[in-house]
Copies of this chain bind each other. A is one copy, B any other.
């Protein structure tokens, strides 16, 4: 029998609002992170700085020790950055387990247009993980993560470029590994949900259009560079573009059709 691994609920990651939308499943949380093009990574710049910092970064969940681990198993979060950036310096200088970070991923799947502004919402998927970031120093692990991250931008791209990176490239690129200690996700799907005070008011229902506008990320026709010498767009690129477009659209449209649970408000 299968089992579902979940992140432990703690005050820091427990969802208190719309609890039925919350998920602590590793699979759901890791999937949202891995399908998001830009992650937002937060860290404290130091005791003298009042404000937390946020950096947009490219990253991916994976396991160097168990590369065949599936998405619902314990994984690390690998983040790609530049050698002299502030987060890398902080991680390099951090003591103990590493630099405490929070990694967030969010996708909008639809605009929920209800009778009242208060019942408006998005269909969306969001996830956060919290953990300790350390620089990857092992060369094999670094290469593993670089390939993982490159292929997350476009499937199979790594093997179809000039690899491996040379000395200068290896040293200018820094990979952070976040050991995850906590995580949570939130998924909203379904349609419009209004309250009786409005659905029973004909003056309102006769003039306010309600429904959902699906939203998804579209990849356009690949545009070759001036220097490109490969005559045709390779199959792995056009297949990726087609699969993303179909999958993204399908998710956004299917999300609308999901039956809302009874307790759902907006």
The 8 A CB mask of A38-66 against B (1 = contact, 0 = none) is 10101111000111111010100000000
Complex CA gap A82/B19 in Å reads 13
- A20-28, A71-79, A196-204: which one contacts chain B? A196-204
Query: Known: A209-B228, A213-B237. Contact between A102 and B162, CB under 8 A?
Result: no
Residue of B nearest to A158 (CB): B117
- B222 lies within 8 A of A212 (CB): yes
A262 at interface (Cβ–Cβ under 8 A)? no
- A218 lies within 8 A of B218 (CB): yes
- B227 lies within 8 A of A45 (CB): no
Q: Would you list 23 pairs from A and B whose C-beta atoms are within 8 A, ordered by A residue?
A: A37-B122, A38-B106, A38-B122, A40-B54, A51-B101, A54-B128, A56-B124, A111-B219, A117-B157, A117-B158, A117-B165, A160-B209, A191-B225, A191-B226, A205-B227, A207-B230, A209-B233, A211-B225, A213-B222, A214-B220, A218-B218, A223-B253, A223-B256
When distances are taken between beta carbons in the complex, the residues of chain B under 8 Å from A50 are: 100
* Nearest CB of chain B from residue A240's CB, rounded to whole Å: 8
When distances are taken between beta carbons in the complex, the residues of chain B under 8 Å from A212 are: 222-223, 225
Complex CA gap A227/B206 in Å reads 11
- B204 lies within 8 A of A162 (CB): yes
When distances are taken between beta carbons in the complex, the residues of chain B under 8 Å from A213 are: 154, 219-220, 222-223, 237, 241
**Which of A150, A165, A207, A218 has its CB near the most chain B CB atoms (within 10 A)?**
A218
Query: Known: A51-B182, A111-B153, A117-B146. Contact between A199 and B227, CB under 8 A?
Result: yes
When distances are taken between beta carbons in the complex, the residues of chain B under 8 Å from A220 are: 213-216, 249, 252-253
- B230 lies within 8 A of A16 (CB): no
A173 at interface (Cβ–Cβ under 8 A)? yes
When distances are taken between beta carbons in the complex, the residues of chain B under 8 Å from A108 are: 37-38, 217
